Structure 1
Amino acid sequence: MTYVDERNAPSSDTDLLDFFYDTRTQTESLTAPLSDEDMGLQSMEDASPPKWHLAHTTWFFEEFILKPHLPGYTPRDERFAVLFNSYYVQAGPRHTRSKRGLLSRPSVTEVTSYRAHVEDALREGMIYDKFALEPEHLDALITLGCHHEMQHQELLVTDLLHALSHNPLLPAYTTPQPEAVQSIPDRGWTRYAGGLLEIGHDGNGFAYDCEGPRHKVWLEPYRLADRPVTNGEWIAFMEDGGYDNQTLWLMEGWAVREQNDWDSPLYWWRQDGQWWAYTLQGPRPVDLAAPVVHVSYYEADAFARWAGHRLPTEAEWEAAAQHTEIAGNFLESGAFMPLGREAGLWGDVWQWTSSAFSPYPGFKPPEGAIGEYNGKFMVNQMVLRGGSCATPRLQMRSSYRTFFYPHQRWQMLGLRLAADQ
């Protein structure tokens, strides 16, 4: 992970504290509907319990800000350093990732107390100027911690969806919203001239290390679809034998499809002649006009080939998005599912690109444990762009890169088609 550009730090400590508390409050609002039993659920190694997300985001502020930079700070419990470290090798030993769901203790109450302990210490240190750190560096670390927590807000939501999907009761996390009657919009295309362009973060405001350095790329003329692929289009792919036609699939993708017996997106099933999906609003008939979600890179690539097009590169996506208003269905809408009410580049579903997650020219991770956040994951993963219905709006910028392994489906993953001109 990287840092906020110090020239663009919040204008005052009050603004930064407001940002800190707003972020923390948003996380807690996501767990407010949950029972203590819900808070401990872990359904697979890729996911973590809601309680662990609360504790880990707190550990981040403690480990990288309070312990090294606040003289006299006393941890709430020294053992939490092991329990709630994720993968920061330089920060010390870690509890086994696949066994986070076995941590019945500390309790939810104790984790809540831990969060308050860290928040109070950070607030007091800022108000009374107790930190042994230059203000601009402190502001950068706190801003980083807030953006880190926003990433975990998204993970909390999607991990919870996966966990609750295993319950035969198919419980709703949030109140179901009325379904809008829609027709599937025709796919339009926007043409881009390409040429010698710049992508990557421009240095203004916050960004993660993997978003830079800004650099030049050459793009041939191309087209992007004006909306993501819809459920209705995906069903047409399924009905045309898309999941059974090996010629559409990458060899590795076909092997994964066979191994897992994929024949539809994750959380879908057929009932009384209609496709249904499990969502955080509970079970719902598949909305034909909404963007398809919970599909792997392998499925997205096969669909694009079936449709006679391709997935965009991340440079193509970013070049198109640089001068586009960031508007769409994000976490703050409270829907927690794709809606597709408006065409555009942003929100609803992350969009697979054909680009591997690799370093930009001149990339160097920051020193220390924080430098482990992105750099060591730059292998065997694919980049997605655009944010989703589970992504906080404040996370979004045209240079933002998220990344997942090509077989993964539990995140809010969809696709947009591209074509050569």
Structure 2
Amino acid sequence: MQTATRPAPADTHDLFRATRARSRELVADLAPEDMVVQSMEDASPTKWHLAHTSWFFEQFILREKVAGYASPDERFAFLFNSYYVQAGPRHARSQRGLITRPTVAEVMDYRAHVEAAMGDLLAQGDEEVAELTTLGCHHEMQHQELLLTDLLHALSFNPLMPAIRAPEPRALSEPLPREWIGFGGGIREIGHAGEGFAYDCEGPRHEVLLRPYELANRPVTNAEWIAFIEDGGYGDARHWLMEGHARAQSGEWDAPLYWWKQDGAWWSFTARGAQPVDPNAPVVHVSFYEAEAFARWAGARLPTEAEWEVAAQGSEIAGNFMDDGALRPLPARPGEGLRQMHGDVWEWTRSGFDPYPGFRPPEGAIGEYNGKFMVNQYVLRGGSCATPRAQMRHSYRNFFHPDRRWQMSGLRLARDA
């Protein structure tokens, strides 16, 4: 974690309460049966997310800062550690859905226990505790997003197509034509500037050399993706990286994840249930491989993360986030310049998730947060309709393996000027 100054303890206490309350709100309408299923190794049960985010505060703050702290069950340290090797042994990731005990009710009691202990500790006004708590809150925000996307994946296997949130009618909209916005080249700076919270992988701030380039004014839409499908884009190896084409063929990909055709029209499974595909909304649930193939088909390319961040600098961080409640990408609103740079869909970039020059992970198990994943993954930028607004910064780097599709991932085109 990087901060220019340590957060005020009082503000951190408010952040902690608000973050924990949002997690409760996200699961308020779920049945216990919804919260225990695991649909694949990449996705975790809702119950596990709720427990793991409590374990994080317990492991890295309460056990370190509260003399004599006692967990409700010491076995939780084994069950709910994710990948922190230095924090001790862990239950197998692929078997999280087999943990029927503790029950959902017992996990909620565990959360309440941790919240009470954290409340007492935060009341003491310790600045180091406030800094660690801020990290813990942003960690929980990440898991709130994963909770939604993991649950969506699990529910997609149910023939009843249950909705996470009640369905609502789709607002009519006009398509926003694609336009190109130019940016000059030269030496520019990217990375966290040192104001407020950021993850360690967002720094150090450093210089990059850019050639003149252009970005599309909005993300790629469903209508454009349908044109790609109808032109045989999924089967045309000319557009694909060899590894991507092999993955698409082995996975029998012929459309974005959760899409199917019904009576000649495309439908998609969403957090609002089964809905017709909105032609003017950004395409979502596509892998890096698919995004790369589409960009080539369109005579363009994916931007680098430096190009994306330089274009975003100075713009207001506003958009369709988790806080807005839509939980699905919405069409771009009319306007000039870059649209939907934040929210709606994470945008794949052509940049690998590598350390910035001078990067050094923090000491101890906390240092395992990001640094150990800096291989074989690609960076996404901008947040999505499932991202808490408080998470978003221009420098925020998300990352996934190139074949992953269950996240709220889309793309924006770029080209050389």
TM interval, short-chain normalised: over 0.9
Secondary structure of 1:115's aligned partner: helix
Could you tell me which residue of structure 2 aligns to residue 176 of structure 1? 167
Given the alignment, which residue of 249, 255, 258 partners 1:258?
249
Q: Distance in 2 between matches of 1:301 and 1:265?
A: 13
1:71 aligns with 2:67: yes
Which residue type is aligned with residue 178 of structure 2? R
Instruction: Spell out, residue by residue over 1:120-174, the C-alpha distance to the aligned partner (whole angstroms, 9 max, x if none).
Output: 1111123246xxxxx3221110000000000000000000000000000001110
Could you tell me which residue of structure 2 aligns to residue 9 of structure 1? 7
Residues 3-402 of structure 1 mapped to structure 2, 5 A cutoff: 3-5=2-4, 7-10=5-8, 13-128=9-124, 135-342=126-333, 343-402=339-398
User: How far off its partner does 1:14 sit?
Assistant: 2.6
Q: Distance in 1 between matches of 2:84 and 2:210?
A: 37
Tell me the TM-score normalised to structure 1 length: 0.96
More displaced stretch, 176-185 vs 141-150: 176-185
Residues 184, 232 of structure 1: 8 Å contact kept: no
Residues 6, 131 of structure 2: 8 Å contact kept: no
- Relative to structure 1, the CA distance from residue 128 to residue 375 in structure 2 (aligned partners, 3 Å threshold; closer, same or farther) is closer
Identity of aligned residues (%): 64
Secondary structure of 2:138's aligned partner: helix
Instruction: Spell out, residue by residue over 1:282-304, the C-alpha distance to the aligned partner (whole angstroms, 9 max, x if none).
Output: 00000000000000000000000
Aligned CA-pair RMSD: 0.9
Which residue type is aligned with residue 179 of structure 2? G
- Relative to structure 1, the CA distance from residue 137 to residue 128 in structure 2 (aligned partners, 3 Å threshold; closer, same or farther) is closer
Residues 36, 46 of structure 2: 8 Å contact kept: yes
Secondary structure of 1:284's aligned partner: strand
Unaligned runs of 5+ in 2: 334-338
User: How far off its partner does 1:8 sit?
Assistant: 4.6
Secondary structure of 2:267's aligned partner: strand
User: How far off its partner does 1:17 sit?
Assistant: 1.0
Instruction: Spell out, residue by residue over 1:244-295, the C-alpha distance to the aligned partner (whole angstroms, 9 max, x if none).
Output: 1101000000110111010000000000000000001000000000000000
Instruction: Spell out, residue by residue over 1:350-398, the C-alpha distance to the aligned partner (whole angstroms, 9 max, x if none).
Output: 0000000000000000000010011110000000000000000011111
Secondary structure of 1:247's aligned partner: helix
Structure 1 stretches of at least 4 aligned residues deviating more than 6 Å after TM superposition: none
Which residue type is aligned with residue 84 of structure 2? Y
Instruction: Spell out, residue by residue over 1:17-69, the C-alpha distance to the aligned partner (whole angstroms, 9 max, x if none).
Output: 11101000001100111000001011000000110000000000000000011
Q: Distance in 2 between matches of 1:330 and 1:28?
A: 18
Q: Distance in 2 between matches of 1:282 and 1:344?
A: 24
Q: Distance in 2 between matches of 1:116 and 1:282?
A: 31
User: How far off its partner does 1:404 sit?
Assistant: 0.2
Secondary structure of 2:407's aligned partner: coil
Q: Distance in 2 between matches of 1:349 and 1:242?
A: 22
Q: Distance in 2 between matches of 1:146 and 1:136?
A: 15
Which residue type is aligned with residue 281 of structure 1? R
Q: Report the number of matched residues.
A: 412
Q: Distance in 2 between matches of 1:361 and 1:182?
A: 44
Which residue type is aligned with residue 376 of structure 1? K
Tell me the TM-score normalised to structure 2 length: 0.97
Q: Distance in 2 between matches of 1:226 and 1:193?
A: 16
Could you tell me which residue of structure 2 aligns to residue 132 of structure 1? none
Which residue type is aligned with residue 195 of structure 2? N
Unaligned runs of 5+ in 1: 130-134
Instruction: Spell out, residue by residue over 1:50-97, the C-alpha distance to the aligned partner (whole angstroms, 9 max, x if none).
Output: 100000000000000000111121111100000000000000000000
Q: Distance in 1 between matches of 2:394 and 2:340?
A: 13
Residues 201, 356 of structure 2: 8 Å contact kept: yes
Residues 3, 143 of structure 1: 8 Å contact kept: no
